[in-house]
Amino acid sequence: MASLRCGPRRARRMRPLRDEERTIHFPRSEADGPGHRSTGHNRCGIRLCAVGADSTVSAAIIHDKRERICECCGITPIGRNSRRYCSRQCAVAGGIGPRPRPVEDRFWQKVHRIGSLECWRWRGAHVPDGYGSFLLSSNGAGSARFVKVHRLAWILAYGVIPEGMHVCHRCDVRDCVNPRHLFLGTNSDNVADRVAKGRSARLRGARNPRAKLTPEAVAEIRANPGVTSEFALRFGVARVQIQRARRGDTW
């Protein structure tokens, strides 16, 4: 029985190419005349450096460092990898991969519609201020375009939004996309609607959910008009908040 070899295998040593092998496998460029020993290119884009026969190195292969360009847009470089296109959009335009779904189909798929007069709530992504967000387009290279869902709902239902106009909610539900609950207005109209619905009033005193002071603390602050820094450290607020509470600006 043959014995099994253990341990790492020994690396094979590459012998230098003979002159006839170098001539067959590495032909000179047609621009090089007979006897010319300058650098040439072969058909596969590999640059060769001709060396002397007495050298220990028979041939040096240096890959071409030219960057390839996207075959669709012809603008974006894609490096020296095997890719042909810079993004998914260019690949689809070039006939590779599935066609993207229409924006309208992708949008309404994430909307919970329960009735024509009810709020249609957005079930997709939201931004921190409570409005829904929708990915309108992406080039696959880290650049994406997002749009507020109530604005896109207006565009899909009624058309282009005039420049400088806001899309306002009648229902005051920020992620509602029911076109019946939306209307166009200027910035002044938006502010007037907010004031008329009582959503712009300042919450003073204990009605403010973020208040750190209490009515008892404010009474003590007003009873000691010459002390400010000590109260600020004691209640964990800035000195200006102590002064505003003493003047009656916030309490």
- Cross-strand partners of 103: none
Same domain, 138 and 166: yes
Mean pLDDT of 217-236: 86
223-251 burial, b for 16+ CB within 10 Å, e for fewer? eeeeebeebbeebebeeebbeebbeeebb
Better pLDDT: 143 or 165: 165
CB atoms within 10 A of CB 77: 11
Q: Does one domain contain both 243 and 165?
A: no
- Both 126 and 183 in one domain: the answer is yes
pTM (predicted TM-score): 0.47
> Can you tell me the distance from the alpha carbon of 220 to that of 55, in angstroms, rounded to the nearest whole number?
96
Residue entry with tokens 């991969």:
97
> Per the structure, how many domains does the chain have?
3
pLDDT tens, 21-47?
444 444 444 444 455 444 444 444 434
Note down the domain range covering 148.
103-196
Q: Mark whether 116 and 180 lie in a shared domain.
A: yes
Residue with tokens 């921190």: 128
Q: What is the CATH number of the domain that holds 160?
A: 3.90.75.20
Same domain, 125 and 183: yes
